[in-house]
């Protein structure tokens, strides 16, 4: 409702503009179907739109007429002109009509509809286009299955939830642009036909007819180009831009997606965080009328892992992870004695869980998606007594001490997992989210933004016995860790933090970025640490390395996943409704039936032969 | 200067914002290089940027420091700290530096520079990055050739003309979005991975790994999707969107280009023209501070051809084409007697053209690009005498009558071409533009917008003996020509006008569109006239025809070529400088060296083999 309100406001501004110049809105209508109110009673109006429904009642015909802006009730009196009555009777669902009539006050008002105080008593009715009966109902809750609605996306898009989603998307994009423009950013379009790169995820490629045998690639992000723009002196760049990744699609991933992509020069980390914290604050305020914390909290990656078991903590609720390794070791419980780490969370008020519920929860954590070997619980009963699945190894006092450490009170349930440190924390993190859901802590209209900072720069891989860049090889180490970065000791290098940051909202990573390396020596050291020879580095990144030799300024930036920003602002978990024409999990657009086979002549022109077996 | 001014204004708003919250601009600087004025004298400031040039004069070192916002002069005194003097002496062109100092009043001011009243007397200087000497000078007029500058585009982009071009582009896009948002339009992103269509120009295609042997296509325009959005009820859609066409590139065409794409429902032609006339008026006013005529003149396609020999007349000047067929036939001059059409233009003040100049002009019109067989001239001399290349066939009175019809006065030169009607008019149109250039009538900072309307709907092709759609088969006929449209006579059908319109500026078509057919019967008649069988129509356009069966509203729209809008606003003819990273005439990005060969493994994954010979 909030959003619609905002959209309507700008639309009203427009209407006012039209009135001033004496124009009516459109040739086909004087008003929209969301506009008329009790104050308009007596006016002669023309509306146009789709027939939502039509019914006869005591000789009257009632028609709900729908357009982008709302629904208005039209009435045709039984004693009206015969042709009019006949036309009104002939209307089917989704017919496109134009209706002229007088605004009258309704006898039985509908307070749920903005136009519910009035109806239009028709004097004429014009069918602009007939419609086949749609294969599913055009209602907030449609009766159509997902596949069917995808096939007729243009009909599904008539439904309110999708309309609101796309209006929200427009509004957010517009606010982003206004904010960044006001901050001196230039939106600069970078090319879509670029070059395939040997690193990273798979590129989509585009055969070039004019350059036989050669291919363009579609960008996975404008990373190279935005860094070149910094070299070129465009110190505040942004772009709302499509990106492409030919990955096997996980649920809720799209082969093409939209990014708010930004880069700044002559900045340090806090400049970047300030600007984009301001952007997020403005979006929440202007789009949702929500105030977010000022400043947005910051958490190191290490704390996020230790206390939330996730690099994207949902901080709408506490239920922090506590390490209790020292408290539980050496009591003869071999499971705990044999592991590095024991950690626990406290689910408030769930001591009432029955044996059956606890067994079910144990099975839940043992599923491969979580991967725990088992679950230990400690119930703090309402009467202060403590009951645990490991009673025989721990005294009441032992358990009480744990409960105290966990700040568990009467009625709370402590859940304990163990194993290797990070892996167990991650499992606890997943369990925490599950318990948060069960306890109703995760209201999608609550918003808890967070910056996660101080990521490790490097990840050691035992198998290949080398370091990998946790982000990408241009991410700068934190300035205060430069000494460690030049150390030869693995332990030192593992401690080096990246000058990187993620924007997290409600447990979802919405964006991330880093200060980039602009200094040739630091870059060289980075390649050395990653075990790249100079030839490797030149082959993989030569173009950008060479560009940097002509005067690269200090710079950094970030990118937000725009589809996901929209979904979260709309209080939804999946992005599909926030994209007008999305693809399914096989990367297909089932509406237009794409991808598809192309003519042999087209293949020949591109100097291509297919080695695939035709189905 | 105008544009920079506007950009700076919004930037200043930002600076003010920062001041309010007590923040400085960036960690690396307190001010930009375009900002400091005489009122700032005495302030201690930190600037960062690139060394434009550095020179020694009487013991002092003068450094011009450049960033996106301007150039500020830095000075280092010979008696300063030795390290500082040494650092200042070591600076090369395009070094990236950070400089701290005090703003002082200049002794010799430079009125050409906004910062020309002051200079910064440095107390410290920090080299942020050294730079190799760039392969060409970073000046408004560079010494680098086009190819070299393209290869180092990121350096070329440092030059002022390109920076202004991209700033202008940003500003125009932003104004377009503000205007359309204010008019109730929603920007809705349509997919880039779509389906190859059997009609029209060549598509770029994208092999699908997940669907072996199948291809996506990149959109030539979002035409289908925007019409589906109208079916879906999004009655005011727009998008600033990339489009792709795999055409053999004419000069100044790009394989990827940007369109301002729009569509509206429940509208007739004048609704569309009103909205986009308003958009153009707003752009001219807000971006260039130029008032364009209100209303923008409208001209029928027939008048455009008859009087300007072009469907995109440059109306910055008159020099209209006059038909003189009847006046010149029957005087024994066989060339004129044997043709359908004789037309002429009057070039003011050029009666002084010498024999040599007239011969040169005759050769010019005979070049294949124009294609005339010859040129007849009539000079009206200053003394009132008339001299012509066809004197022997025409009396003084005959020629005088022509001169009067042409409104030619003393000193004017009449140029006459003949042949078939439309072809000759087109040649006269080309000649008119040439003479306009020679006479200085085509100032790129004069703006003469024009709507061209009432195009023929159909074009007859003698070879295939059938009609073709002049725009596309969904373009509606004008309502008042519907009767003609159902006639079986070729002459009637040739008279049917399309409900279409082009926006023309200074002789360039910047945009165009039409009211679309939404009525199934009219669409069927269109296919009939074009000679499509029902199967043909279903094969080629089945998807959209079927979508229209579910309730298509009356709708229409248009699209502007955004790259060209930017170029014309910038007073330039070529679009290349208005695109950050353009491709050359072979469709190559010579900076990143794309397209390029890809790995065999990548080809294998895509089930593709190349039949091209590797170079």
Long-range CB contacts for residues A396-405, cutoff 8 Å, separation at least 24: A398/A327, A398/A331, A401/A327, A402/A324, A402/A327, A402/A328, A402/A344, A402/A378, A403/A378, A405/A322, A405/A324, A405/A327
Chain A residue numbers with beta carbons less than 8 Å from the beta carbon of B229 are: 154, 157, 580
Residue B465 near chain A (CB below 8 Å): no
Residue B195 near chain A (CB below 8 Å): yes
Average pLDDT over residues B363-377: 96
Distance from CA of B193 to the nearest CA of A (A): 8
Task: Express each pLDDT in A113-130 by its tens digit.
Answer: 999 999 999 999 999 999
From CA B236, how far away is CA B184, in angstroms rounded? 7
Residue contact B604–A592, C-beta within 8 A: no
Chain B residue numbers with beta carbons less than 8 Å from the beta carbon of A613 are: 212-213
**Pick from B158, B284, B404: which is nearest to A551 by CA?**
B158
Residue A2 pLDDT: 33
Res. A6 pLDDT band, cuts 50 70 90: very low
Task: Express each pLDDT in B196-216 by its tens digit.
Answer: 876 667 899 999 999 999 999
Higher pLDDT, A97 or B602: A97
pLDDT at residue B565 greater than cutoff 60 = yes
> Out of A27, A129, A553, whose CB is closest to B96?
A553
In A, minimum Cα distance to B163 occurs at A234
Residue contact A194–B594, C-beta within 8 A: yes
pLDDT at residue A614 greater than cutoff 80 = no
Average pLDDT over residues B136-145: 94
Residue A169 near chain B (CB below 8 Å): yes
Cα A595 vs. chain centroid, distance in angstroms? Answer: 25
Q: Which helix (H) or strand (E) holds B129?
A: strand B118-129
> Out of B95, B158, B184, whose CB is closest to A233?
B158
Distance from CA of B399 to the nearest CA of A (A): 51
Cα B239 vs. chain centroid, distance in angstroms? Answer: 17
Q: Quick one: tokens of B503?
A: 């926006």
Q: Which helix (H) or strand (E) holds A71?
A: strand A70-76
**Pick from A241, A158, A240: which is nearest to A194 by CA?**
A241
Residue A130 near chain B (CB below 8 Å): yes
Q: Quick one: tokens of A220?
A: 């996975």
Higher pLDDT, A532 or A184: A184
> Out of A129, A236, A610, whose CB is closest to B519?
A129
Res. B520 pLDDT band, cuts 50 70 90: confident
Secondary structure of residue A56 in the 3-state scheme: strand
Residue A20 pLDDT: 32
Residues 234-293 of A with CB under 8 A from B: 234-236, 242, 244, 246, 248-249, 255-256, 258, 264, 266-268, 270-271, 274
Secondary structure of residue A310 in the 3-state scheme: coil
Residue B16 pLDDT: 36
In sequence order, what DSSP letters do the residues of B156-207 get, joined into one string?
HTTSHHHHHHHHHHHHHHHHHHHHHHHTT-EE----SSB---SSSSPPPEEE
Residue B199 pLDDT: 65
Residues 6+ apart with CB under 8 A from A440: none
In A, minimum Cα distance to B520 occurs at A129
From CA A411, how far away is CA A379, in angstroms rounded? 7
Residue contact A233–B206, C-beta within 8 A: no
Residue B198 pLDDT: 67
Alpha helices in A232-304 (DSSP H): 269-283, 301-303
Average pLDDT over residues B391-405: 95
Task: Express each pLDDT in A26-69 by its tens digit.
Answer: 789 999 999 999 999 999 999 999 999 999 998 899 999 999 99
Chain B residue numbers with beta carbons less than 8 Å from the beta carbon of A522 are: none
pLDDT at residue A169 greater than cutoff 60 = yes
Can you give the pTM of this predicted structure? 0.94
Q: Is the ipTM reported for this complex over the cut 0.85?
A: yes
Res. A449 pLDDT band, cuts 50 70 90: very high
> Out of B29, B229, B614, whose CB is closest to A266?
B29
Res. A573 pLDDT band, cuts 50 70 90: confident
Q: Quick one: tokens of B441?
A: 């009538």
Residues 6+ apart with CB under 8 A from A452: A298, A299, A300, A301, A304, A311, A312, A313, A501, A502, A504
Strands A96-105, A118-129: parallel, antiparallel or unpaired by DSSP? antiparallel
Residue contact A519–B94, C-beta within 8 A: no
Q: Which of B233, B239, B259, B591 to mutate to test the interface with A (most CBs of A within 10 A)?
A: B233
Residue A187 near chain B (CB below 8 Å): yes
Residue contact A581–B190, C-beta within 8 A: yes
Strands A376-380, A386-388: parallel, antiparallel or unpaired by DSSP? antiparallel
Q: Quick one: tokens of B51?
A: 């060394």
Distance from CA of B86 to the nearest CA of A (A): 20
Exposed, middle or buried by CB within 10 Å (0-12, 13-18, 19+), for B392?
Answer: exposed
Q: Quick one: tokens of A53?
A: 């429904």
CB A145 within 8 A of CB A203: no
Chain B residue numbers with beta carbons less than 8 Å from the beta carbon of A210 are: 246, 248-249, 586-587
Residue contact A586–B68, C-beta within 8 A: no
Cβ pairs bridging A and B (under 8 Å): 393
Residue B542 near chain A (CB below 8 Å): no
Residue A66 near chain B (CB below 8 Å): yes
Residue contact B202–A209, C-beta within 8 A: yes
Residue A490 near chain B (CB below 8 Å): no
Share of chain B above pLDDT 70, in %: 95
Residue B14 pLDDT: 38
Residue contact A50–B551, C-beta within 8 A: yes
Residue A306 pLDDT: 98
Share of chain B above pLDDT 90, in %: 85
Torsion angle in degrees (nearest 10) through CA of A103, A109, A114, A115: -20
Residue A79 near chain B (CB below 8 Å): no
The Cβ of residue A396 has, within 10 Å, a number of other Cβ atoms equal to 11
Going by the DSSP 8-state scheme, the letter that residue B21 receives in this structure is: T
Mean pLDDT across chain B, nearest whole number?
Answer: 92
């Amino acid at each position: 409702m909030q959003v619609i309100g905002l959209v309507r406001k700008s639309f009203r501004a427009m209407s006012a503009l039209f009135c001033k110049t004496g124009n009516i809105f459109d040739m086909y209508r004087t008003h929209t179907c969301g506009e008329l109110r009790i104050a308009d009673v007596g006016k002669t109006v023309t509306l146009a739109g789709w027939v939502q429904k039509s019914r006869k009642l005591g000789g009257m015909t009632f028609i709900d007429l729908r357009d982008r802006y709302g629904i208005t009730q039209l009435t045709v009196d039984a004693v009206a002109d015969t042709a009019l009555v006949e036309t009104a009777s002939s209307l089917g669902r989704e017919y496109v009509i134009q209706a002229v009539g007088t605004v009258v006050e309704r006898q039985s008002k509908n307070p749920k509809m903005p136009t519910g105080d009035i109806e239009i008593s028709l004097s004429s009715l014009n069918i602009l286009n007939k419609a086949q009966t749609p294969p599913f109902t055009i209602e907030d809750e449609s009766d159509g299955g997902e596949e069917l609605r995808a096939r007729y996306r243009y009909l599904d898009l008539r439904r309110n939830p999708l309309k609101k989603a796309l209006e929200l998307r427009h509004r957010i994009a517009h606010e982003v642009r206004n904010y960044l423009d006001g901050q001196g950013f230039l939106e600069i379009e970078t090319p879509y036909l670029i070059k395939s790169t040997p690193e990273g995820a798979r590129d989509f490629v585009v055969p070039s007819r004019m350059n036989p045998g050669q291919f363009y690639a579609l960008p996975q992000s404008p990373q190279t180009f935005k860094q070149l723009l910094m070299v070129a002196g465009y110190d505040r760049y942004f772009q709302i831009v499509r990106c492409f990744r030919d990955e096997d699609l996980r649920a809720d991933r799209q082969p093409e997606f939209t990014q708010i992509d930004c880069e700044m020069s002559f900045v340090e980390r806090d400049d970047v965080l300030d600007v984009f914290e301001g952007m997020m604050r403005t979006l929440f305020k202007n789009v949702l009328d929500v105030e977010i914390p000022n400043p947005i909290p910051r958490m190191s990656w290490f704390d996020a892992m230790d206390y939330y078991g996730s690099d994207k903590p949902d901080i709408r609720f506490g239920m922090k992870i506590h390490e209790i390794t020292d408290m539980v070791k050496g009591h003869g419980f071999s499971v705990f004695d044999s592991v590095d780490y024991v950690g626990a969370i406290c689910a408030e008020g769930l001591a009432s869980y029955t044996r059956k519920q606890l067994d079910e929860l144990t099975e839940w954590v043992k599923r491969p998606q979580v991967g725990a070997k088992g679950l230990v619980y400690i119930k703090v009963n309402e009467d202060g007594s403590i009951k645990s699945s490991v009673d025989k190894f721990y005294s009441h006092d032992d358990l009480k001490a744990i409960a105290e450490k966990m700040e568990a009170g009467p009625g709370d349930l402590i859940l304990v997992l163990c194993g290797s440190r990070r892996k167990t924390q991650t499992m606890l993190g997943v369990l925490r989210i599950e318990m948060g859901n069960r306890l109703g802590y995760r209201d999608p209209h609550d918003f808890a933004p967070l910056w996660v900072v101080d990521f490790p720069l490097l990840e050691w891989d035992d198998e290949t016995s080398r370091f990998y860049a946790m982000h990408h090889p241009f991410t700068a180490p934190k300035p205060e860790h430069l000494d460690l970065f030049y150390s030869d000791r693995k332990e030192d290098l593992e401690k080096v933090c990246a000058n990187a940051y993620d924007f997290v909202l409600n447990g979802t990573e919405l964006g991330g970025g880093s200060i980039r390396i602009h200094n040739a020596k630091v870059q060289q050291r980075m390649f050395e640490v990653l075990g790249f020879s100079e030839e490797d580095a030149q082959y993989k990144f030569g173009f950008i390395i060479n560009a940097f030799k002509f005067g690269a300024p200090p710079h950094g930036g970030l990118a937000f996943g725009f589809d996901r920003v929209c979904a979260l602002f709309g209080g939804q978990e999946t992005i599909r409704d926030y994209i007008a024409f999305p693809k399914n999990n096989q990367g297909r657009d089932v509406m237009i039936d794409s991808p598809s086979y192309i003519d042999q002549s087209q293949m020949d022109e591109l100097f291509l032969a297919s080695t695939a077996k035709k189905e």
